[in-house]
């Protein structure tokens, strides 16, 4: 192992600990029988929501650095993305293993018939692809294309929200809140908006030595 690879910043430590908390709480609630009458549904909802939140936090790192010159957050993009993939995998595993009991005919029907499931599958596949290619080795191999490929994270964010919107009953505002966050993160990537936001925010940030 390389020297210094365990030199984590406090923010990285908080991120790693924080990312395991939903899983720990979920397992504790399962143990204590606190997951309500429909355990499978509750576990599916919790893991899906956590995957989405972690994905959005990963997406927020670049704009936070651009706007507030807070470089440390850039180191959180990869772990947050990988943790999002971890929860998405558990979410999917509950769906195929516990909900459908590995009945691949039924799973295939469900995945093809339900539009939210198709979108969820595409989102999960993007997260898998980004997770595999997130290493330094793949960065070197793909050169310029690595950045292009990793822009897919925005598509994953959009599709995760579409998945959420499509499966939630009408009149529930929660998914629209997440849609608003994704829209804001995308708008902040637009050059004129970025320039304007930097001109407003950065003069207020004290220069570091």
**Which residues here bind ligand HEM, judged by CB under 6 A?**
41, 44-45, 48-49, 51-52, 55, 84, 88, 91-92, 95, 117, 120-121, 123-124, 160, 163-164, 167-168
Interior CA angle at 98 toward 169 and 86, to 5°? Answer: 80
In whole angstroms, what is the distance from residue 45 CA to residue 38 CA?
Answer: 11
Shortest CB 161 distance to ligand HEM, Å: 8
For ligand HEM, the closer of residues 168 and 197 by Cβ is: 168
**Which among 159, 171, 166, 33 has a CA at the least distance from the CA of 88?**
159
Closest distance of CB 19 from ligand HEM, Å: 14
**How many residues does this entry show for the chain?**
209
CA gap 157, 55 in Å, rounded: 7
Give dist(CA 62, CA 76) in Å, integer.
10
Q: Minimum distance from CB of 59 to ligand HEM (Å)?
A: 11
Looking at beta carbons only, is 8 or 40 nearer to ligand HEM? 40
Find where tokens 């070197």 sit: 140
Select 45 or 193, whichever has its Cβ closest to ligand HEM: 45
Cβ closer to ligand HEM: 26 or 124?
A: 124
Q: How far is the CB of 92 from ligand HEM (least distance, A)?
A: 5
CA 99 to chain centroid, in Å, comes to 23
Which of 183, 163, 177 has the alpha carbon at shortest distance from 44? 163
> Which of 51/73 has CB closer to ligand HEM?
51
Q: Smallest distance from the beta carbon of 115 to ligand HEM, in angstroms? A: 11
Cβ-based nearer residue to ligand HEM, 11 or 128? 128
- Closest distance of CB 123 from ligand HEM, Å: 4
Asked if 96 and 102 touch (Cβ cutoff 8 Å), the reply is yes
Distant-in-sequence, close-in-space partners of 186: CB < 8 Å, separation ≥ 6: 154, 158
Q: Nearest Cα to 115, choosing from 72, 79, 166?
A: 166
């Amino acid at each position: 192992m390389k020297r210094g690879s365990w030199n984590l910043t406090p923010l990285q430590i908080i991120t790693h600990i924080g990312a395991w908390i939903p899983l720990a709480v979920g397992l504790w609630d399962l143990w204590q029988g606190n997951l309500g009458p429909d355990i499978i549904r509750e576990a599916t909802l919790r893991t899906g929501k956590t995957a989405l939140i972690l994905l959005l936090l990963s997406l927020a790192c670049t704009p936070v650095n651009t706007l507030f010159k807070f470089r440390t957050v850039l180191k959180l993009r990869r772990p947050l993305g990988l943790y999002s993939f971890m929860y998405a995998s558990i979410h999917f595993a509950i769906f195929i293993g516990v909900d459908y009991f590995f009945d691949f005919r039924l799973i295939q029907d469900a995945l093809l018939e339900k539009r939210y499931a198709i979108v969820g599958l595409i989102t999960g596949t993007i997260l898998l692809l980004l997770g595999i290619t997130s290493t330094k080795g793949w960065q070197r191999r793909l050169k310029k294309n690595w950045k292009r490929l990793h822009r897919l994270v925005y598509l994953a964010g959009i599709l995760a929200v579409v998945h959420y919107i499509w499966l939630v009953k009408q009149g529930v505002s929660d998914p629209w809140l997440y849609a608003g966050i994704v829209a804001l993160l995308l708008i902040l990537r637009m050059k004129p908006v970025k320039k304007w936001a930097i001109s407003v925010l950065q003069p207020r940030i004290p220069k570091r030595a």
